[in-house]
Amino acid sequence: MDRTERILDLVALLLDAQAPVSWGEIREAFPDEYSGSQDAAERKFERDKAELLELGLPITWTPATDEHLEGYVIDKSAYYLPELALAPAELAVLYAAGSAVLTSGAFPGREDLAHALRKISFFADGQLPPPKVRLELSELTGSRELPARLEALWGAINAKKWVDLEYFSPFSAQVTHRRVDPYGLALRRGMWTLVGWCHLRGAVRSFHVHRVRALTVNASKPRSADFQLPAAFSLDEYVAAWPWQHRFHPPTEVTVELRGELAPLAASLFGVTAPVSNERSTFTLSVTDLEGLVGYVLSQGPDARLLAPESAVQALRAAATGVLDAHRSSP
């Protein structure tokens, strides 16, 4: 008998049972399947049960009581998906978000997401309209491998298994071998970063997933965790959300001013709230990568300026002068 078939038979048996099903009854029901020594048969059953538990099926063993003998049960109220009672707008927007990600080409957990979308729309009547949200996440070269790498990392993160990476650094143009306990994945500005414990460096490190040239997940004992996630771990502390947040030097306070059409855009352009008065907004940022900030502010054009400290103001001027010198048509 095919293993999938046997496991589905078990589900059908447990879903139909009115009382706990004992191991003896299970063995009797599948004499050819759980044959051989008691030990071997039990191990085989445990492996089958593990598949179902990993799928989230609520199977438990319950001891004997006055009313029934000991055995296995599926808690039916916890098994069946209930109606989510999503309002049409709620379903539509959740579905749009999920579908946009599925078509984006590079997102971890795509199979999980596809199943989730099927389940949330299970009770919806009629076909859902094709969601009109498109997202491009795979623009970098080497992105052909990216979806598969993300999927493998997602599996390793969830099972808490270490991974071996061949990691390319564009600056040294060298590939190093790293063993990493994968803690999590973060998406920033269209790029995926893996954060984890690097065995080589003995510290938490971040890795751009598109720079991973080869990836192997520890295949031994897939059901036992290789590591634990530190209780206080937060991905956000290890990835820069903004260009001035790379941890290159100690934080300094830099004052930024936005004028004209940029004045009301502090939140979307800099992630801060700043009141607008006289068509200007002013705010300070904690900066650990001044060069990153300078490039970013410069790219916003003349309506974004640095006000303090003087060193930052000069850095911006120097960068603008650099651009001008590189493009000057007449001396």
Q: Return the closest-CA partner of residue 101 out of 117, 84, 90.
A: 117
Shortest Å, Cβ 253 to other proteins: 21
* Residue 225 CB contacts under 8 Å (≥ 6 apart), including other chains: 159, 160, 161
Shortest Å, Cβ 143 to other proteins: 10
Residue labelled with tokens 């044959």: 35
- Tell me the residue type at 202: G
Sign of CA dihedral 228, 232, 238, 241: positive
Shortest Å, Cβ 76 to other proteins: 8
Residue labelled with tokens 């071998």: 177
User: What HEC string does 245-294 produce?
Assistant: HCCCCCCEEEEEEEEHHHHHHHHHHHCCCCCCECCEEEEEEEECCHHHHH
Shortest Å, Cβ 295 to other proteins: 4
The residue (of 215 and 240) whose beta carbon lies closer to other proteins is: 240
The residue (of 117 and 215) whose beta carbon lies closer to other proteins is: 117
The residue (of 66 and 211) whose beta carbon lies closer to other proteins is: 211
Residue labelled with tokens 């999927």: 151
Parallel, antiparallel, or unpaired: how do β-strands 59-62 and 71-74 relate? antiparallel
Structural Rg of the chain based on CA atoms: 28
Shortest Å, Cβ 66 to other proteins: 26
Shortest Å, Cβ 235 to other proteins: 4
The residue (of 66 and 126) whose beta carbon lies closer to other proteins is: 126
Instruction: Report the alpha-carbon angle 158-150-111, nearest 5.
Output: 70
Strand partners of residue 168: 175
The residue (of 66 and 173) whose beta carbon lies closer to other proteins is: 173
Question: In the 8-state DSSP scheme, what is residue 219?
Answer: -
The residue (of 135 and 217) whose beta carbon lies closer to other proteins is: 135
